[in-house]
Structure 1
Amino acid sequence: MALTGKLVSQISIKSDGDLFHEIFRERPHHISGMSPDKIQNCELHDGQWGTVGSVIFWNYFHDGKERVAKHIVEAIDEEKKSVTFKVIEGDLMELYKTLKATVHVDTSGEDNLVTWTIEYEKLNEDVPDPRTVMEFCLNLTKDIETHHLSNVPK
């Protein structure tokens, strides 16, 4: 059994893809208002919002428990509309030696396609692949979409 792996999932959203990218790039601290059952708090610990090298601390609810994570913004690609976060502290580090998540938005056409990629290295063979983390990311995407669609003037 391999200790390293990669999960990739895509989800189509009807809300504005550029706005979705902007939220993860510059305004992740707004996500708690869009998905309060999943994200309780998001604080900037070092750097500036929207810049590579910034350190962000999260309080979130996952797998039935309150959790914490600290990550560093590892990459921002404006052309590809992607942001990569590397987890550096928190509950996930009890299972994974490394965990990196990239959220990418393809804004061509009417529907926007959000792709989540999770790259990881487990601490040992008994650790499951982070499928529930991927499910969390997809559900968070749906919450953000629902928030934006409910606030669009008709």
Structure 2
Amino acid sequence: MAQLQKLETKVAMKSPEKIAAFFRDSFTSFPQLVPDVVKTAEVMGGGHKAAGPGSVLLLQYSFPGTPLMSVKLKWEEEAMEEAGDGKKSCLFTVIEGEVLEMYKSYSLKIEMDSDAGLSGWTNEYELANPNVAPPHDYIEACKLLAKACDKYC
């Protein structure tokens, strides 16, 4: 039986909380933020805002040397720590797309810690077969997004 694996990265940021606001209020601007990777972004439905928990998000993307791919993500939850410590998190689950040909399951959790000036990106996945490589391209895309959010948002 295969098991879930994790690939994580942390990115220093001036304003990590901007990531949640970007996903919520400006998701369709994703292609302008990281145009080398994301080609289109669309909110398919769900939550009561432009995007938010319950929303289904569609991205078309490519990494250097790969064909155009698409992914549908469901925004599962958004949480703010109760202690007022400046921590926030968002959880997204892949529900459709080429990524599910390589991985049986895939999710992304983003943790934003304003006090520490960090965003943490955890990609949790289960390999479809032992010949599939860990999702290093996805971690690199997370780093690009964090840096772009910090610079442009």
- Scaled to the shorter chain, the TM-score interval is 0.7 to 0.9
2:9 match: 9
Superposed CA RMSD: 1.9
Could you tell me which amino acid in structure 1 is paired with residue 59 of structure 2?
W
3-state SS of 1:124 partner: coil
1:47 match: 46
2:113 match: 106
Q: Percent identical across equivalent pairs?
A: 30
3-state SS of 1:17 partner: coil
3-state SS of 2:54 partner: coil
Unaligned runs of at least 5 residues, structure 2: 82-86
Alpha-carbon distance in structure 2 between the residues aligned to 1:60 and 1:97: 20
Normalised TM-score (structure 2)? 0.84
Once the two structures are TM-superposed, the CA of residue 142 in structure 1 deviates from its matched residue by 1.7
Deviations 1:96-149 (A, max 9, x none): 01000011110005xx2010001101111111111221111112222222324x
Alpha-carbon distance in structure 1 between the residues aligned to 2:130 and 2:64: 20
Unaligned runs of at least 5 residues, structure 1: 149-154
Q: Which runs of 4+ in 1 moved over 2 A?
A: 1-4, 16-21, 24-27, 48-51, 143-148
1:138 match: 143
Alpha-carbon distance in structure 1 between the residues aligned to 2:110 and 2:23: 8
1:60 match: 61
Bigger shift: 98-107 or 34-43?
Answer: 34-43
Normalised TM-score (structure 1)? 0.84
2:84 match: none
After superposition, the Cα gap between the structure-2 partners of 1:124 and 1:11, relative to the gap in structure 1 and judged at 3 Å, is: same
Alpha-carbon distance in structure 2 between the residues aligned to 1:25 and 1:10: 21
Alpha-carbon distance in structure 2 between the residues aligned to 1:97 and 1:26: 30
1:70 match: 72
Alpha-carbon distance in structure 2 between the residues aligned to 1:2 and 1:20: 32
Once the two structures are TM-superposed, the CA of residue 18 in structure 1 deviates from its matched residue by 2.5
3-state SS of 2:51 partner: coil
Q: Tell me the matched-pair count.
A: 145
Say whether residues 1:18 and 2:17 are aligned partners: yes
3-state SS of 1:33 partner: helix
Checking the alignment, whether the CA contact within 8 Å between 2:59 and 2:71 is kept in structure 1 is: yes
Deviations 1:8-29 (A, max 9, x none): 2101012x22323211234322
After superposition, the Cα gap between the structure-2 partners of 1:3 and 1:131, relative to the gap in structure 1 and judged at 3 Å, is: farther
Which of 88, 93, 105 is the aligned partner of 1:81? 88
3-state SS of 2:17 partner: helix
Which of 127, 143, 152 is the aligned partner of 1:147? 152
